[in-house]
Each structure stands twice: as C-alpha cells, then as structure tokens.
C-alpha cells in the first residue's frame, strides 16, 4: 500500500489548473449578481462575464460573439449539434455519448453512423455516402477521440460533407490543440482542460446556419440559463494558461505516451494497444489485455495508487462495451485508458508501468490461464 | 463452413469469461479444425474476432443457435 496516488484520468477531468484556482475564488466573491440587472454588482458580474468571453475567444482564435458558455460540455454538444440542420444527422461511429444521445433524442431521420477504420479514423467516403442522397444535412465528427486519441481528418470531412453543416465535438482536444479551422459549431468542456466542472464552451461560427434549439428568450440564446460566471472566468483563465504552455506540455506528454505504448507492447503478452502512434492526442493512451477483467484491472491499479478509466463493459453503467473500441475492432475487455495530467511525471508513469505486467499476470493466473 | 468439432457453452457468462474459455480450450481441436463458442455476452461479438486477430487464429463467422444465442466459430491455425 502506498500513500501516493497517481491520477491518470485527465481525459475524464483534469485537476483544476493553478491559474484557475485564484480566479475562481476572487470571481466567486465578485461575480454573484445577475448581470442583466441595472445595479453595481450586476455591472461587476457583467464585466467578469465579458472578460471570460474575451479571454476564451482570444485563446481559441475566434470572435467574442462566437463564444457561448453553457452549463456543461454535454450541454454545449447538445446545443451545438441540435442547433444545426433540420433533416438527418450523420455522426461518426466513435462520437462521445453526448452526441449519440442528442442525435437519438432529436428524432431526426435518418440518423446515420459513419464507419471508421481500425484506428478509429472517419473515412471521407463514408461522409460523402451519407450526405449524397441529400437527406442528411448535419454531420457530426469529433476533433479527437476521447478514448483512443485519434485525430479526425476534419478538413477532409468538411469537404466531403459538402453543403451539410458540420458539428465538431472538441471536448477531448480543446485547449490542448488549436481549434479546428472547419466546423459550424464546436463544443468543449472546461473540466477537460483544467477549468472547473459545469462549464461548457460552444463556438458558433458567424457564417453558421445555427439557432438556439431549446426553449428560451434572447438571453438564453446567448447563454443557456444563468451563466456560472465565476466558473466561466476560471475556465477562461485555465484555457489561456493551457494554450500558453501546450507546446511544452504536449511534447512531454507525447513522449510519455510513446513510452507507455512501447513498454506495454513489449512487457505484457497478448495486449492490444488501440489507436495510432502519431496523429493523436498527446495525453492519452488505451490498451486491452486479453483474458483480463477490466474492472479487476482498474481495481488492482487503484490498490497500488493509480487512477485510470476503462472502456470495458463490466465497468460501464450500461454493461455495454465501449462503442469506440468495438467500432475499430479493438479488444473491449481488459481495457484501461491512461490519461496524463499537465504535471504527470515520468516517474509516475514508470511506477505504473513497472507494476502492470505483474498485475496482468496475476489476474490471468486467477482466471486459470 | 466447416462444422465445429467442439462447441463451448458460455451462455450466461460475462466478459471476459467466454474468451478465457476459448483460450483454454483452443488446444482441444487440431490445427485446421473449428472450435465454436456460444455466448450471449454482448462483448463477445467484438472480442471473439479481436481474440482471433491477436492470437493468429481465423474467425470464421457467427451463426445463431436454436435458442437465438450467437455461436462464434474459429478455425485453429496454429
């Protein structure tokens, strides 16, 4: 048993960035009022919100009036996707659950799944095929996959989508990578970049044919409900910091993930490392160990002080295996995803890598292999 | 499609049990022969072909048993 805990689940939620912490506290004291009112605290809150919007816009390289804050990344996805098009939806087979849920809920027809290759990459031909008949008028493809890290060929997707609108879920990538140059609406989630939970960002490009898809007045069209102003400001501060340090952090993380890929492949027999070695998110890696129960693997890692996620059926609420792993033909059981935080060290990673072969071997022995 | 020499009954077993059984019993058939596993676990649909790819065996296909449970067939290549 160790006192140290190595948190390797940044792709679910990155710990609050130090740049966000002070801002969150200060803004919580000053940004409580309803910015629509005409008194001084309201003006103060309004200024903080305008500031948050400006910082996010600058960090993403877009205009201020293209930035909306939502109550979560999921809410940004829902509003972004459902605000585009009116007929059918084509989405990649490896989209986040929030996209799948929104497409199903929309009752639009048809809802078409776009095939991916063995590295979870969307094929332009699948997009072209989906929009060819003209009844799919919005295409949803993520910037990068949240489970295996694959970067999607968005330029190719946009060109294949033709006149259809393009929705991009940038949840896994926003802040870490430059905003895609294509996409009519692009959604992100602050807790994935070290902002607080419960803050989403939706970028709606000015030329987009997008409208607010939910009930509400003029105000709720620019911000869903009453914006979490301290949260938005802290999210903005974290985003600004992450963008400023990403060259250094990404290079370090890319190298550590390469180390994980290499050592897992060579030191653990019968392991399937999913996703491409290059053209991927810098901070996450996923692999599956044959004959191993995913839940047992996550629990064993927790016991040695390492926190990871899993896409295996036994670890999910629905008892269904990861749709991403299934779509790319990867092994779905015995799966773990390691995702590095901005201050994960080589020592942290090596400690887990040193323990993994023994853990897998023991679990296989327990299973009678 | 060749008839399986051995069919493992993994009904009611959760992942990764059907794949573990497959791994343990592959040696029950000769090289070139077919082994099958009946499994209602949803992960088996993805994991039997993935297992075959990783272990260098041939995934032959999926048929349905009389009770509707999928039966996956694998030809032993090595």
pLDDT tens figures, A66-86: 999 999 999 999 999 999 999
The secondary element (H helix, E strand) that includes residue A68 is strand A67-70
Residues of A in contact with B14 (CB under 8 A): 313-314
Has residue A50 got a pLDDT over 50?
A: yes
Q: What is the DSSP letter of B28?
A: G
| CATH assignment of B6-75, among 3.30.450.30, 3.50.90.10, 3.30.110.40, 2.115.10.20 | 3.30.110.40
Cβ separation A332–B46 shorter than 8 A:
yes
Rounded to the nearest 10 degrees, the angle between the axes of helix A18-30 and helix A229-267 is 160
| A38-60 mean pLDDT | 95
Active site annotation includes A314: yes
Q: What is the pLDDT of residue A1?
A: 47
pLDDT digits (tens, 9 = 90+) for A26-40: 999 999 998 889 999
Residue of A nearest to B42 (CA): A320
Residue positions of B annotated with a catalytic role: 15
Distance CA A37, CA A173 (A): 36
Confidence of residue A215 (pLDDT cuts 50, 70, 90): confident
Distance CA A176, CA A302 (A): 27
Domain ranges of chain B: 6-75
The secondary element (H helix, E strand) that includes residue A247 is helix A229-267
- The answer, for B12 touching chain A at a CB cutoff of 8 Å, is no
- The answer, for B56 touching chain A at a CB cutoff of 8 Å, is no
* Contact criterion met (CB below 8 Å) for A69 and A126: no
- The answer, for A8 touching chain B at a CB cutoff of 8 Å, is no
Has residue A337 got a pLDDT over 50?
A: yes
Residues of B in contact with A291 (CB under 8 A): 16, 19-20, 23
Distance CA A49, CA B8 (A): 62
- The answer, for B55 touching chain A at a CB cutoff of 8 Å, is yes
Has residue A220 got a pLDDT over 90?
A: no
Cβ separation A321–B55 shorter than 8 A:
no
Burial class (CB in 10 A: 0-12, 13-18, 19+), A157: buried
CA-based torsion, A265, A7, A346, A118: positive or negative: positive
| A285-303 mean pLDDT | 96
Cβ separation A332–B49 shorter than 8 A:
no
Domains and CATH numbers, chain A: 6-14+246-366 (3.90.1150.10), 18-242 (3.40.640.10)
ipTM computed for the complex: 0.94
pLDDT digits (tens, 9 = 90+) for B23-65: 999 999 999 999 999 999 999 999 999 999 999 999 999 999 9
Q: What is the pLDDT of residue A72?
A: 94
């Amino acid at each position: 048993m160790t006192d140290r805990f190595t948190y390797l689940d940044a792709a679910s939620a990155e710990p609050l960035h130090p740049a966000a912490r002070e801002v969150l506290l200060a803004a919580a004291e000053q940004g409580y009022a309803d910015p629509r009112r005409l008194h001084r605290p309201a003006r103060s809150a309004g200024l903080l919100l305008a500031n948050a919007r400006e910082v996010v816009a600058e960090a993403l390289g877009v205009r201020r009036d293209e930035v909306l804050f939502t109550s979560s990344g999921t809410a940004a996805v829902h509003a972004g996707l459902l605000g585009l098009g009116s007929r059918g939806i084509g989405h990649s087979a490896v989209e986040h659950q929030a996209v799948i849920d929104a497409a199903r809920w929309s009752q639009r027809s048809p809802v078409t799944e776009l095939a991916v290759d063995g590295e979870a990459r969307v094929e332009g031909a699948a997009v072209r095929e989906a929009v060819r008949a003209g009844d799919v008028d919005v295409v949803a493809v993520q910037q990068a996959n949240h489970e295996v890290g694959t970067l999607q060929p968005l330029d190719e997707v946009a060109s294949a989508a033709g006149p259809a609108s393009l929705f991009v879920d940038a949840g896994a990538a926003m802040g870490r990578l430059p905003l895609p140059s294509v996409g009519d609406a692009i959604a992100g989630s602050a807790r994935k970049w070290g902002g607080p939970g419960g803050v989403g960002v939706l970028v709606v490009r000015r030329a987009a044919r997008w409208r607010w898809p939910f009930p509400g007045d003029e105000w709720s069209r620019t911000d869903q409900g009453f914006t979490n102003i301290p949260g938005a400001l802290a999210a903005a501060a974290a985003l600004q910091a992450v963008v400023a340090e990403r060259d250094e952090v990404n290079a370090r993380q890319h190298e550590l993930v390469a180390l994980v890929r290499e050592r897992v492949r060579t030191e653990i027999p019968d392991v399937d490392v999913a996703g491409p070695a290059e053209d991927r998110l810098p901070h996450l890696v996923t692999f599956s160990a044959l004959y191993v129960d995913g839940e047992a693997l996550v629990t064993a890692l927790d016991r040695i002080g390492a926190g990871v996620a899993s896409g295996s059926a036994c670890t999910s609420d629905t008892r269904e295996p990861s749709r991403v792993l299934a779509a790319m033909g990867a092994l779905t059981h015995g799966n773990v995803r390691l995702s590095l935080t901005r201050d994960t060290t080589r020592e942290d990673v090596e400690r887990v890598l040193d323990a993994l072969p023994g853990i897998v071997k023991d679990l296989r022995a327990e299973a009678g292999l | 499609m060749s008839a399986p020499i051995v069919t493992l009954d993994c009904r009611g077993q959760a992942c990764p049990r059907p794949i573990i059984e497959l791994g343990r019993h592959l040696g029950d058939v000769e090289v070139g022969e077919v082994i099958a596993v009946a499994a209602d676990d949803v992960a088996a649909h993805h994991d039997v072909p993935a297992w075959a790819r990783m272990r260098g065996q041939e995934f032959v296909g999926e048929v349905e048993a009389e009770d509707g449970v999928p039966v996956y067939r694998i030809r032993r290549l090595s």
